[in-house]
């Protein structure tokens, strides 16, 4: 009889652990979604800052674009 009680307890423990795992996964998913929302908001703020900086710059659009597209390693070579 002890064996049967032990396997029922084991089955209950397995079920309880599976339920806890599902709840934990749901919590992880919710946290990941929240993080993605925050990252999206950060990107939107940065994009707006970039647009504002370009709009308020005394440089031409072409100058800004060529600076952005320039190879930074070339700048390092010119410094030496």
In a domain, 59, yes or no: yes
Phi, psi dihedrals of residue 31, rounded to the nearest 5°: -65, -40
pLDDT digits (tens, 9 = 90+) for 8-35: 799 999 999 999 999 999 999 999 999 9
Q: What is the CA radius of gyration of the chain?
A: 28
Residue 13 is part of which domain span?
2-69
Decide which of 8 and 58 is more confident.
58
Q: Can you tell me the mean pLDDT for 72-79?
A: 68
How many structural domains comprise the chain?
1
In a domain, 77, yes or no: no
In a domain, 57, yes or no: yes
In a domain, 78, yes or no: no
Could you give the dihedral angle defined by the CA atoms of residues 20, 26, 28 and 29, in that order, rounded to the nearest 10 degrees? 160
In a domain, 76, yes or no: no
């Amino acid at each position: 009889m002890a064996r049967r009680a032990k396997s029922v307890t084991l089955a209950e423990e397995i079920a309880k652990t599976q339920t806890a795992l599902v709840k934990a996964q749901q919590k992880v998913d919710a946290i990941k979604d929240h993080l993605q929302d925050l990252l999206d908001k950060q990107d939107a703020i940065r994009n707006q800052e970039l647009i504002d900086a370009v709009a308020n710059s005394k440089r031409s659009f072409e100058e800004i674009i060529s600076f952005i597209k320039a190879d930074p390693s070339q700048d390092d070579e010119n410094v030496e």
